[in-house]
């Protein structure tokens, strides 16, 4: 096959891509560049420049992944999961520690957070698992046990780092995929009852002291306004001070006086709220809602379960990113260190989120292609 033929085939596939999704993703990435620029007092080299490069690189990766046939991603599902799992285990031995948390590999030029790579890896593995699983085993104890093991093993590694936010996000995504696979409602009800019993025990014996303090602060942030409650208090002040239309780009006084910590990463929405007000916040949330709604629409256009679960699982991960971050910034959830995807500064998160959208586009692009099925009795 000549290079011209390959190029023509690639361009043809790119033409068939649903371009609304990449456009919305790039718009959010551009908002991220502007907000990081504002959060760093207009110093281009302190985050905005790096975010531009990361969004551009991840955008190329997204489109490259989109053109790869969905059957290849089906065959790579378990290998991707196990590679991410090995990397998670390796963090315990050669990972670098930042602020008491050991979550990263330091490659010199950049850092990689394996827990972020596990998010698409987990969805790929569960989508293939349920695609291969006979329908009668979806609600069977052995079928359910296999899915729970796929979820439990990486979450245990992540909880040890410690990273409660990612643990909650990953576990919730996994449970959502199990639900979407069509599990029996009786099992869901039983699981909910067991969870209501297990959560208090997990709170007492599974969380570290600082994590329990964060939850206590969430319930009553005024109890320690200059300590554990500082983030939430200052975040609310910054959001409220923006009013309806905001103070204007680069004019946020809370940002200039550095009252809100981590305002280019986890708390970047406070910069949007203060400088562009309620209108800016609603526009940003509207863009996220459009992406989530579009992805759900693409999922239901797919023919096979693997593609449907892959898109819905990745969409769930993205939606949880947004929901947890916004709830945290608004004081509706404890501070757990979850960034605002595509807007917050962070290389691995940007890369994995856009990799996920590449998988979404691939699943939709090849939505009618025949899929293999390694069914088990």
Residue 11 has phi, psi (to 5 degrees) of -65, -35
Phi-psi category of residue 246: left, alpha or beta, with phi > 0 → left and psi -120 to 50 → alpha: left
Instruction: Give the SS3 label for residue 340.
Output: coil
Whole-angstrom Cα distance, residue 198 to residue 202?
Answer: 6
pLDDT digits (tens, 9 = 90+) for 121-155: 999 999 999 999 988 788 788 888 999 999 999 99
What does the domain layout of the chain look like in residue ranges? 31-365
pTM of the model: 0.87
Read off the pLDDT of each residue in 183-210 and give the average, rounded to a whole number. Answer: 74
Instruction: Give the SS3 label for residue 102.
Output: strand
- Residue pair 372/308 in contact by the 8 Å Cβ criterion: no
Note if the bond before 162 is cis, omega within 30 degrees. Answer: yes
pLDDT digits (tens, 9 = 90+) for 270-298: 999 999 999 999 999 999 999 999 999 99
């Amino acid at each position: 096959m000549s290079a011209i033929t390959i190029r023509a085939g690639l361009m043809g596939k790119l033409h068939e891509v649903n371009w609304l999704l990449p456009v919305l993703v790039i718009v959010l990435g551009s908002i991220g560049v502007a907000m990081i620029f504002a959060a760093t007092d207009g110093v281009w080299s302190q985050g905005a420049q790096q975010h531009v490069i990361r969004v551009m690189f991840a955008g190329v990766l997204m489109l490259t992944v989109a053109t790869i046939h969905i059957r290849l991603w089906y065959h790579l599902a378990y290998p991707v999961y196990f590679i991410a799992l090995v990397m998670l285990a390796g963090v315990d031995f050669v990972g670098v520690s930042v602020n008491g948390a050991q979550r990263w590999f330091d490659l010199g030029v950049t850092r990689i957070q394996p827990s972020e790579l596990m998010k698409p890896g987990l969805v790929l593995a569960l989508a293939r698992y349920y695609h291969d699983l006979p329908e009668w085993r979806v609600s069977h104890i052995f079928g359910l046990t296999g899915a729970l093991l796929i979820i439990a093993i990486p979450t245990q590694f992540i909880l040890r780092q410690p990273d409660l936010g990612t643990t909650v996000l990953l576990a919730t995504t996994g449970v959502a995929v199990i639900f979407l696979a069509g599990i029996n409602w009786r099992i869901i009800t039983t699981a909910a009852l067991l969870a209501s019993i297990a959560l208090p025990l997990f709170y007492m014996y599974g969380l570290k002291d600082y994590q329990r303090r964060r939850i206590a602060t969430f319930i009553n942030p005024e109890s320690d306004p200059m300590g554990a409650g500082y983030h939430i208090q200052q975040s609310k002040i910054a959001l409220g001070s923006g009013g309806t239309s905001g103070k204007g780009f680069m004019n946020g006084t809370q940002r200039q006086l550095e009252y809100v910590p981590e305002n280019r990463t986890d708390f970047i929405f406070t910069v949007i709220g203060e400088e562009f007000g309620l209108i800016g916040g609603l526009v940003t949330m509207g863009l996220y809602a459009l992406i989530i709604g579009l992805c759900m629409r693409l999922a239901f256009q797919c023919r096979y379960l693997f593609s449907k679960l892959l898109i819905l699982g990745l969409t769930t991960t993205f939606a949880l990113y947004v929901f947890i971050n916004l709830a945290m910034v608004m004081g509706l959830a404890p501070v757990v260190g979850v960034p605002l995807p595509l807007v917050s500064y962070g290389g691995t998160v940007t890369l994995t989120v856009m990799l996920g959208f590449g998988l979404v586009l691939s699943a939709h692009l090849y939505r009618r292609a025949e899929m293999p099925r390694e069914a088990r009795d």
